[in-house]
């Protein structure tokens, strides 16, 4: 079955919480709408930046239904559905596809460490068999600094060979451009869709054959990133990418999710945006000031 897959600037959107730490669906959807209006081509709902693993399966399905019935076009949503347990991943994946999401972003199961490539292959293979839906499109989620379980080149090779047209892309959050370059070089020529997980690599990725980026920082600077995407074949993209780098370098010194939420809280004059679920904590007052000062400085 043919599907239309997103390219360009994807934001793994942050999740708003109420004071009682419940998902604030209304504020989160308003943020989704703002992101799409500001220039995001699509969103990842339930990525690392969304605190997805701090949410239960029920919270995730309910919120996704709310978003779709409140004006968010499901064709603009990749849904993060990879959990430690196969039944959870299957349930979330079926649900997202059923709602019309064009694809899912799948973490490998991340509790056990040093698992074999064979074990990871069986995990994905069993999932594909159980979901059993010709609309299924999987983007692998390689984020070893956090998951501690990597998606190796051999695993990509085996999955794309066994499940062509199903395992169709990757978010590479290794943070290592050389790794992303190699993934693109090896797999993009056959249509594999590579998105670096960092906007720091947006322009080089596009020029090497990547499809865009899925970056946490797209929560606050989608317009600038979209300009890079629009101009990547032209020389002026370089100075825009330099501006991206300046912002990225400044903000990377802080815990990413609380820093992004602090910025949104400031911009919207809505301190509730600072709320995160434990084990994350909001920025201290000192760090809060620092982040806002740094951000202002990079925009002068």
Footprint of its own copies (CB under 8 A): 21, 48, 53-59, 84-88, 91, 108-113, 115-116, 118-120, 122-123, 126, 145-149, 277-281
Closer residue to its own copies (CB): 193 or 288: 288
Question: Whole-angstrom Cα distance, residue 195 to residue 47?
Answer: 14
**Closest CB 231 distance from its own copies, rounded Å:** 35
Question: Whole-angstrom Cα distance, residue 8 to residue 197?
Answer: 12
Closer residue to its own copies (CB): 85 or 132: 85
Question: Whole-angstrom Cα distance, residue 243 to residue 218?
Answer: 14
Question: Whole-angstrom Cα distance, residue 155 to residue 22?
Answer: 37
Closer residue to its own copies (CB): 188 or 287: 287
**Closest CB 228 distance from its own copies, rounded Å:** 29
**Closest CB 245 distance from its own copies, rounded Å:** 24
Looking from the CA of 150 toward its CB, the CA atoms found within 13 Å total 9
Question: Whole-angstrom Cα distance, residue 257 to residue 274?
Answer: 9
**Closest CB 300 distance from its own copies, rounded Å:** 31
Question: Whole-angstrom Cα distance, residue 89 to residue 77?
Answer: 17
Closer residue to its own copies (CB): 28 or 241: 28
Question: Whole-angstrom Cα distance, residue 20 to residue 112?
Answer: 31
**Closest CB 141 distance from its own copies, rounded Å:** 12
Closer residue to its own copies (CB): 1 or 285: 285
| Cα–chain center distance at 27 | 19
Q: What angle in degrees, to the nearest 10, is found between the helix axes of 177-187 and 153-162?
A: 30
**Closest CB 272 distance from its own copies, rounded Å:** 17
CB of 171 within 8 A of CB of 214?
yes
Closer residue to its own copies (CB): 123 or 273: 123
Phi and psi (nearest 5°) for 173? -100, 35
């Amino acid at each position: 079955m043919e599907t239309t897959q997103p390219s360009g600037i994807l934001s793994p959107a942050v999740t708003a919480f109420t004071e009682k730490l419940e998902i604030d669906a209304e504020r989160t959807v308003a943020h989704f709408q703002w992101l799409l209006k500001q220039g995001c081509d699509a969103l990842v709902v339930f990525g690392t930046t969304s605190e997805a693993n701090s949410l239960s399966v029920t919270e995730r399905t309910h919120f996704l239904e709310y978003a779709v019935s409140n004006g968010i076009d499901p064709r603009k949503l990749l849904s993060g559905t990879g959990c430690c347990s196969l039944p959870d991943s299957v349930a979330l994946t079926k649900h997202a596809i059923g709602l019309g999401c064009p694809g899912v972003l799948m973490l490998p199961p991340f509790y056990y460490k040093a698992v074999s490539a064979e074990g990871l292959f069986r995990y994905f293979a069993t999932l594909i068999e159980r979901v059993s839906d010709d609309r299924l499109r999987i983007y692998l989620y390689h984020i070893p600094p956090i998951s501690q379980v990597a998606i190796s080149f051999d695993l990509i090779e085996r999955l794309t060979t066994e499940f062509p047209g199903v395992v169709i892309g990757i978010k590479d959050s290794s943070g290592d451009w050389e790794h992303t370059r190699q993934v693109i070089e090896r797999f993009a020529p056959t249509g594999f869709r590579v998105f670096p997980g960092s906007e720091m690599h947006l322009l080089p990725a596009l020029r090497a054959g990547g499809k865009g980026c899925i970056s946490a920082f797209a929560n606050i600077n989608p317009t600038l990133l979209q300009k890079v995407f629009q101009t990547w074949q032209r020389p002026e993209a370089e100075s825009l990418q330099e501006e991206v780098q300046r912002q990225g370098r400044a903000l990377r010194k802080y815990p990413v999710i609380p820093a992004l939420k602090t910025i949104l809280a400031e911009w919207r004059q809505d301190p509730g945006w600072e709320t995160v679920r434990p084990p994350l904590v909001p920025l201290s007052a000192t760090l809060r000031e620092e982040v806002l000062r740094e951000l202002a400085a990079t925009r002068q």
